[in-house]
Amino acid sequence: MLTPLQKQHARFISIIEGSMATVWGTFTGGFGGNSYLIGFFLWLGASPFVMSIYSALIPLSSVVQPISLLLARKFTSKKRFIFTFTTISRPIFFILALTYLMPSNIKIWVALVVFFFIEVLTSVVGSPWQAWMSELVDPEIRGKYFGMRNLITGLVAIPSLLIAGYLLDALGKGFWAFLVLFSIGSVFGILDCYSTKLQDEDQSSRVPVINMSAIFEVLKIKGLYRKYMIALSLWILTMNLVGPYATVMMINVFKYDYATLGILTMVSTVAAAFFQPLWGRLGDKYGNLKMLKLNLSIQTLLTLGWIFAVPYMYYMIPFQIGIGIIATAGTGLTSFNFLLEIVPNFGKTEAFSVYASMTNLASFVGNLLSGFLFVLFASIHFNLNFWVIDAYRLVFIVSILSSIWTLRIVLKIKTNIKS
């Protein structure tokens, strides 16, 4: 068993590791994509429908997570498992830029395959990492700790976003720009892996990281965990009908350069960073489920902001602040902390894996449907003064109407857990 001092040291190193991982994710888009990575695929020549496939690949990488975790059966150390797979995936992201040198008829598809491979290796370490952190962070300090950890990583993301955006513009938004960007990210990926190696781990329990039979046992459990997983999956499906089109619209319709996208993302990140500790404390005080319901309700209504979006900074900056406070900080932190409360005591890694697989399957379906919706509405385009009704807005309208319906299912969830 780890001593309190060892746990404290591990939590400290985890903040450093998270900071290195944040820079890697900012420069590469490796954690589920970002506006710069969307810009890369658009620059390669991806159509809006191909972009829906790109967005669908991100959650699909987690859908196949239980299958990928078959590799973990030979590991008895979560730390070693995580270190092994991050060492494979994070330093090689620069290879994505090299796909530009391939023949034009295949380079987009090869880039999607390379990206999917990296995303699978990135997602497969998620559940073991969550199980590992549940051992290092005691329940009474979870909200405070993860709030502070997310604050620090958010502050690290701010200069990273600005530097990445200005680098892309300065280097011409072409091959060398993306190669430099992804290469810098790969270097920080190496530092991230090294930080993981320095963390403490409980050596007293030497059992396989994953037990495949436990996955099926977890699915059989009736109660709050399964009810929450199903309800949230439905909500995620309808929210992901938005697909990648918010960012695609800003690049293709609003004609934002990467510096502007970086500023907007930075504004959202700053808001998220400073509100992480607040949401953590509110979750500890009033209960994570209550705070989650509040955040989900507001996040659903935020889709209205995309329907009425105009390319002016006085609109986009306050809107991005709202996204950061609610969608990034509030929903992300409270949903994670509530999952830690209700996950079954046995098979934690398996339970996290099943949850990630189910919720990301919902996201995968939502992103694919968004592509078909865009094709369906592609020919619609007319102006109402300064406001344009087009395929993007119509997809957003379908998303919010369906999300309001699925939100009602989540709001009906009740728990006996005391705050």
Comparing CA positions, the residue from 37, 12, 13, 15 lying closest to residue 185 is 37
Residues ≥6 apart with Cβ < 8 Å to 203: none
Residue type, 414: K
Tokens 């150390």, located at residue: 77
Looking at residue 96, its pLDDT comes to: 93
**DSSP string computed for 66-100:** HHHGGGGGG-S-HHHHHHHHHHHHGGGTTHHHHGG
Cβ-contact 10, 197 below 8 angstroms: no
From first to last of its 419 residues, the chain has per-residue pLDDT tens of 778 888 889 899 999 999 999 999 999 998 888 889 999 999 999 988 898 899 888 888 877 666 655 666 667 788 888 898 899 999 999 999 999 999 988 999 999 999 999 998 888 888 788 878 888 888 888 778 888 888 899 889 889 988 998 999 999 889 999 999 999 999 999 999 999 988 888 776 555 555 555 555 666 666 788 899 999 999 999 999 998 899 889 988 899 998 898 889 889 988 988 888 888 889 888 999 999 999 999 999 999 999 999 889 999 999 999 999 998 889 988 998 898 888 876 667 777 778 888 898 899 999 889 989 998 998 888 877 667 788 899 999 999 999 999 999 999 998 765 54
Cβ-contact 337, 289 below 8 angstroms: no
Q: Which residues of 217-245 are buried (b: 16+ CB within 10 A; e: fewer)?
A: ebeeeeebbbbbbebbbbbbbbbbbbbbb
Comparing CA positions, the residue from 267, 258, 94, 229 lying closest to residue 167 is 258
Strands (E), 271-414: 382-384, 387-389
Looking at residue 355, its pLDDT comes to: 85
Q: What would the pLDDT profile of 178-206 be if each residue is shown by its tens digit?
A: 999 999 999 999 999 999 988 888 776 55
Q: What would the pLDDT profile of 288-312 be if each residue is shown by its tens digit?
A: 999 999 999 999 999 999 999 988 9
Cβ-contact 210, 353 below 8 angstroms: yes
Residues ≥6 apart with Cβ < 8 Å to 234: 362, 406, 409, 410
Looking at residue 206, its pLDDT comes to: 58
DSSP-derived 3-state class of residue 308: coil
Comparing CA positions, the residue from 185, 27, 16, 176 lying closest to residue 92 is 185
Residues ≥6 apart with Cβ < 8 Å to 197: 79, 83
Cβ-contact 79, 195 below 8 angstroms: no
Cβ-contact 39, 255 below 8 angstroms: no
Cβ-contact 224, 350 below 8 angstroms: no
Cβ-contact 59, 190 below 8 angstroms: no
Comparing CA positions, the residue from 19, 18, 318, 15 lying closest to residue 160 is 19
CA distance 345 to 252: 48
Beta partners for residue 389, in sequence order: 382
Cβ-contact 96, 182 below 8 angstroms: yes
99 Cα distance to chain centroid: 24
Q: Which two tokens stand for residue 6?
A: 């060892």
Report the alpha-carbon angle 139-145-148, nearest 5.
160
CA distance 333 to 331: 6
3-state DSSP helix/strand/coil percent for the chain, to nearest 5? 80, 0, 20
Looking at residue 217, its pLDDT comes to: 62
The CATH homologous superfamily of the domain defined by 4-411: MFS general substrate transporter like domains (1.20.1250.20)
Looking at residue 4, its pLDDT comes to: 84
Looking at residue 419, its pLDDT comes to: 46
- Nearest-Å Rg of the Cα atoms of the chain is 21
Question: CA separation (Å) from 15 to 18, 281, 328?
Answer: 5, 18, 18
CA distance 328 to 147: 12
Is the torsion defined by CA of 218, 222, 228, 230 positive or negative?
A: positive
Looking at residue 65, its pLDDT comes to: 64
